[in-house]
Amino acid sequence: MRPSLLSLALALALPGAGSAQTTSTGPMAANESDGAAIELDPVVVTATRTARATSDVPNTVDVIDRQRMDDTMVNDLRDLLRYEPGVSVTAGVGRFGLGDIRIRGLGGNRVRIQTDGIAVSDAFTIGSFSNANRNFVDMDTLKRVEIVRGPTSSLYGSDALGGVVSFVTKDPSDYLDAGKDAYFGFKLGAESDWSGLSAGATGAFGGERWSGLVTVNHRQGQEMRNQGDDDARDASRTRPNPQEIDGRSVLGKLVYAPSANQRFKLTVEGNEDNTDTDVLSSLGFQSLTRATNLSVTGSDQQTRARISLGHEVDALSAGFADSFDWQVYRQDSETTQDTREVRRTAAQVNEQRDRSFNFDQRQYGVQANFFKSLSAGNVRHDISYGLDVSRTQTQQKRDGMVTNLDTGRTSNAMLPDVFPVRDFPNSRTTNAALYLQDEISFSEGGFRLVPGVRIDRYELQPEVDAIFAADNPGVAVVEVTDTNVSPKLGAVWHFAPEWSLFGGYSRGFRAPPYNDVNIGFTNLMFGYTAIANPDLKPETSDGYEAGVRFTGDATYASLSGYYNRYRDLIESFQFVGINDEGLQVFQSRNVADANIRGAELKAGVDFGRLDPRWTAWSLRGAATWSRGRNETEDLPLQSVDPLTASLGLAYDRDRWGAELAGRFAQRKRDMEQLGLYATPGFGVLDLMAHWNFAPGARINAGVFNLGDRKYWESGDLPNGIAVGGTAVLDRYSSPGRSLSLSFTASW
């Protein structure tokens, strides 16, 4: 069943919808006559849970505001992070599209992804027909994205082992400034790389007490193009498989402000994406099964819906807090994937195989954050503390049926499975946490010390039903209860008016996942079984970072180095021996230790602030170098990107602007130590422009990969490709030259 909240949320959506544009401002934004210049010291919230200028934050944080998303024509996660070296998005070919977000080489469920403070559902994959990702956010509903690099469990708990990606959705106040009490806007867009079309609308209203917002979006298109030209109908195919893609979203907010210092906010959000794929690359003779596939099609759907009620108080002046906020929420996420194969077996039997995969998570939670400032002489304490309690119900099931097309006989036995099956029991996880942080300012803010700690209580309760018990006879499941303490200590020293040093230590952890603790897979015919591991320990990390920043009147720069040590990383389905029945036994285990180290550079200059003759010209760039090592096996980590960089030269006035941006990567040489293909280095140029041709009307255009360069993102190759297995390499290549257009109007 589709999540019940989704039907409520999407009932508001129209067949064609999108969002209009907003313009973000910051503490050092240029005036209107200069256009949208570089924001030299933007305010961030995610890094410390308090609004702080980047120069006062003791770690590396990236901020992408709405204006930047519009100027660079962001339509999906990969577009969003296109110019952020060190943060990447993997992509899969075949049918499943974008994968996970990696921060400094760590990805998957080891990176916390949240929307308005609420974590999105987990990723889960098993086999070739089952892949639930975390791509649940519509970019046109966002006003800002903040990315904290490195372990952040001291504030956000489990799953923040690699970092945090925080999406912040739009509010009515983003449209109703300067006494405006109503707003309407719409957006139309097109992209050639996936033949995509999008449309959307935003409406907002506001008064002295009440305000509201509704944003609806719709998008449709076809398969993402690549640089392959072999359209064979078998495994040698390098062109993309044909796809039909359709998606929609809705965001609604209702805000009641009983006074100028407090607000109640009701939010309803829903997303739905559907993809139908003709999997031509899976046709033909299959060496593993000795069968010949005549037809393979896939139908995938993913949905997410959430409803939340929040309360913000800005000026409380009470003994326990100067301000606070809280929210309660429910979020339902579901992925359903259906696959149909028509094939001729080695025995010349014509049969049809139908498989269905379902992954469903339903989450309830409450969050509360309190803020108090105290002063004693020349020392100021900005104290943050709060609680975070959530309960998540997770269910997964695979089902299937094989039909003999010659006789009409059907069966649920499809080796090695007898359907339906669950790969782990239905699981209920409860997380309860308390955190405390003190931002201690000395010498009127010249030196800041930021200690913090979070205590997490994690409980896992499996629920064995008839399906799991039938597929895993005699397999015992275990409950897990664990308490984890995550400290941190950061510091910022403004040793000169425009210069500062920053750095610190942060502990990270990830609780043992339900699907690793209680693996459920027994196959008597092939002689193996998977068993629970009651002794599975949390994954942990120790992160160290230090750097220097310069924030001047016209320029900014930041150079930092980091070292992250990861211990007890969990490897799933590891062989551990033979049991008394002669079955091979597999179990998830804490076996991997790893380290990732690197250096990051970000810089920019607004030339108009240096010389009025260069008004509206700006330059920004970033580069990341990193290396990762699996210390258990003394091998390089495949997930760590090579040296990458970006550089953009922009001209931006009131009416129009343009930017020439480059993306660069070094050859991934360390893969050669694993006997794998090393993705070549590349340099790609993009050209983007916008024109405000009338009040409230804007056109954006972009040409990406101007030189039509054939290149591969390092994270797009599936677990690496052997040096001698590059015949289908073009299948994983990025799109060639592509065009993106959008038109927005508002009043």
Do 577 and 569 contact (CB within 8 A), yes or no?
no
Domain 4-746 in this protein, CATH class? mainly beta
**Cα(224)–Cα(261) distance, integer angstroms:** 47
For position 37, what pLDDT does the model report?
58
Question: What are 391-438's pLDDT values in tens digits?
Answer: 999 999 999 999 999 999 999 998 778 899 998 999 999 999 999 999
Give the CA distances from residue 167 to residues 61, 136, 275, 373, in Å, rounded to whole numbers and listed in that order: 13, 11, 24, 27
The answer for residues whose C-beta is within 8 angstroms of residue 319's C-beta and 6 or more apart is none
How would DSSP label each residue in 312-352? EES----SS-SEEEEEEEEEEEEEEEEEEEEEE-TTS-EEE
Q: What percent of the chain has pLDDT over 70?
A: 94
Which helix (H) or strand (E) segment holds residue 721: the answer is: none
Residue 424 identity: F
Give the CA distances from residue 220 to residues 272, 330, 732, in Å, rounded to whole numbers and listed in that order: 12, 28, 22
As a whole number, mean pLDDT of residues 505-533 equals 83
For position 25, what pLDDT does the model report?
34
For position 292, what pLDDT does the model report?
96
**Cα(146)–Cα(165) distance, integer angstroms:** 6
User: What are the residues facing 691 on neighbouring strands?
Assistant: 656, 699
User: What are the residues facing 206 on neighbouring strands?
Assistant: 211
For position 32, what pLDDT does the model report?
35
Q: What percent of the chain has pLDDT over 90?
A: 72
Q: Bin 397: left if φ > 0, else alpha if -120 < ψ < 50, else beta.
A: beta
Which of 592, 560, 540, 561 has its CA nearest to residue 154?
540
For position 175, what pLDDT does the model report?
93
pLDDT confidence of 24, banded at 50, 70, 90? very low
How many degrees, rounded to 5, is the angle at CA 658 between CA 657 and CA 659?
140
Q: Is 99 a residue whose pLDDT tops 80?
A: no
pLDDT confidence of 203, banded at 50, 70, 90? very high
Q: Pull the structure tokens for residue 127.
A: 């086999």
* DSSP SS3 for 670: helix
**Cα(167)–Cα(137) distance, integer angstroms:** 8
Q: Is 15 a residue whose pLDDT tops 60?
A: no
Domain ranges of the chain: 4-746
> 331 versus 38: which is more confidently predicted?
331
How would DSSP label each residue in 437-496? EEEEEETTTTEEEEEEEEEEEEEEEEE--HHHHHHSTT-----EEEEEEEEEEEEEEEEE
> What's the pTM?
0.91
Question: What are 209-244's pLDDT values in tens digits?
Answer: 999 999 999 999 999 999 999 999 999 999 999 999
